[in-house]
């Protein structure tokens, strides 16, 4: 079953709100200059339906935005990457997980 663009965008909005809450819990806006950045891993299963709304996959869109936030070191990965994109999980402070069907 294909998701409509509106349904995908609604799901994206819920994901972003949850992601913002998680990042804010792990990252303080007042950071000492000597503190290392918060390491964020954005994982996306890359559903083909995403291409109707996002030309560069949803996870890459989220990661691209998060890279503009000072104090974050962001990596984007997917189910198609080595070890299903979780090879660097032990070097991650915050995991943003976007999954719908393929990872089940």
Q: What is the pLDDT along the chain (104 residues), one digit of tens a residue?
A: 455 555 656 666 666 656 665 565 555 555 556 678 999 999 988 888 888 888 888 899 899 999 998 889 999 999 888 888 888 889 999 999 876 665 55
Q: How far apart are CA 66 and CA 36, in angstroms?
A: 16
The structural domains of the chain, with segments of one domain joined by +, span 5-26+37-98
Query: Residue 91: its pLDDT value, please?
Result: 92
Task: Identify the CA nearest to 94 among candidates 12, 23, 43.
Answer: 23
């Amino acid at each position: 079953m294909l998701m409509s663009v509106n349904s995908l965008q609604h799901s994206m909005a819920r994901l972003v709100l949850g992601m913002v809450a998680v990042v804010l819990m792990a990252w303080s806006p007042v950071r000492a200059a000597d503190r290392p950045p918060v390491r964020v891993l954005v994982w996306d299963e890359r559903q083909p339906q995403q291409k109707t709304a996002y030309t560069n996959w949803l996870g890459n869109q989220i990661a691209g935005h998060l890279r503009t936030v000072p104090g974050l070191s962001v990596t984007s990965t997917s189910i198609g990457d080595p070890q299903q994109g979780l090879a660097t999980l032990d070097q991650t402070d915050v995991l943003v997980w976007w999954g719908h069907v393929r990872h089940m």
